Chain A
Amino acid sequence: MQTMISNRLCLAPPLPHRRALSPRLCFSGGLRLHLATPSFVFFESRCVVKVEAVARASSRDCEMATDNGQDPRIAKISSSIRVIPDFPKPGIMFQDITTLLLDTEAFKDTINMFVERYEGKDISVVAGVEARGFIFGPPIALAIGAKFVPMRKPKKLPGKVISEEYSLEYGTDKIEMHVGAVEPGERAIIIDDLIATGGTLAAAIRLLERVGVKIVECACVIELPELKGKDKLGETPLFVLVSSA
């Protein structure tokens, strides 16, 4: 796990009730971390989910996207994400990024934050996980001059593929990638809208590593930290814009 331990101090536990907002300052060694100004999302069942906007660098090799303090774009991005309770099944608080895509400024800011982080880092591959990774990955790839490589559910890609299995709550699934899409030695980032348990991203990492690609980082708009997806990523760092407790 590459996240510095003190990053955890930035994230307060979920709150059962409203409380005064206060920015949280975290420092770790020479790294400057973003301020997190909590914002609250109320919905029908009257629970409060604290959506804390944190952009965390989790590798010593990565630079921070901004200087001191919270990037002003994060709050807008965070508040444009809609939380839908009990989807796809009861008990799940679904993080819906489609509302972010309707906010042209927030969508642009989201892409820019990733582009600023990854341009000039000799990344030649942006791998996007089907299907919401296909929305964020291509504009990032175009902006940094990298190839876009779709990682798909079984039987969607024509021609020769390699596949990697991963676990679901019940059963397993597979993701596939074209043989020859990437070459040994290439540097890649993997994009998805959200990391939950980390199963899909871990499978994507394994697929790319099998063909000799170095995964520089996994990047997601949203993390659900309680599901500890980061733990499944092994040596690969994770970068997220919004952490939803």
Chain B
Amino acid sequence: MSGNEVNDPRIYGIKTKIRVVPDFPKKGIMFQDITTLLLDPKAFQDTIDLFVERYRDMNISVVAGIEARGFIFGSPIALAIGAKFVPLRKPKKLPGETIFEEYELEYGSDRLEMHVEAVNPGDRALVIDDLIATGGTLCAAMNLLERVGAEVVECACVIELPELKGRERLGGKPLCVLVEYR
């Protein structure tokens, strides 16, 4: 499901609520700001509804949300479909036993962590973030889930930047987005 393929009238309303902020966090980057979407209760609800409608009959037991904007979308989706919500976090935020996956940044690398006991082998999982750019973070998220024996059913983001080809980094896993920004 992408902005091109689905003719759902709600998508247009969602797209117009996303604010593009030029030169953030640095020059040349057109930052896709979803906070303006969150200020419109109807558009925010529509965003969640579109994902819930897609996933509620797919027997999903885990919604993994990537810190921090993935929490905003992942949590309501998890609640609506009756799945566990699993936060995937930056290093040292999660107490107790964790596993980590490293991923590359433009300069250097970062890590994503997950609680080992949060997910069981056989869990069917979604990975949620606000946006997919290069796909590095989503890839790390999928690896974490697969390492503990979960099946990643799909990755879901509000926005895709298709020119960065993040979709190709997902190892064939399906990706569902609502809005593309070219």
Contacts and interface: CB of A to CB of B under 8 A. Distances in A.
B38 A149 contact: yes
B118 A98 contact: yes
Interface residues of A, number: 38
A142 B76 contact: yes
Contacts of B118: 98, 102
Given A149-B38, A159-B33, A82 B79 contact: no
A130 interface: yes
A158 B72 CA distance: 17
A65 interface: no
Main SS at interface, chain B: mixed
B76 A139 contact: yes
Interface in A92-144: 94, 96, 98, 101-104, 107-108, 111, 130-132, 134-136, 138-139, 141-142
A41 interface: no
Contact of A159 (B24, B84, B87): B24
B86 A101 contact: yes
A145 interface: yes
Interface string A148-165: 111010011111000000
Given A131-B93, A141-B41, A104 B83 contact: yes
Nearest to A156: B68
B41 A142 contact: yes
Contact of A131 (B25, B33, B71): B71
Nearest to B39: A147
B84 A104 contact: yes
Contacts of A96: 95-96
B105 interface: no
Contacts of A149: 35, 38-39
B53 interface: no
Contacts of A132: 71
B72 A138 contact: yes
A88 interface: yes
Interface of A: 82, 84, 87-88, 94, 96, 98, 101-104, 107-108, 111, 130-132, 134-136, 138-139, 141-142, 145-150, 152, 155-159, 178, 181
17 contacts: A94-B95, A98-B86, A98-B118, A101-B75, A101-B85, A132-B71, A135-B85, A138-B76, A141-B38, A142-B41, A142-B76, A148-B44, A148-B72, A150-B35, A150-B72, A158-B24, A159-B33
Interface of B: 19, 21, 24-25, 31, 33, 35, 38-41, 44-45, 48, 65, 67-69, 71-73, 75-76, 78-79, 82-87, 89, 92-96, 115, 118
Q: Which 8 A-B pairs have the closest CB atoms?
A: A158-B21, A158-B24, A84-B95, A87-B95, A134-B71, A101-B85, A148-B38, A131-B68
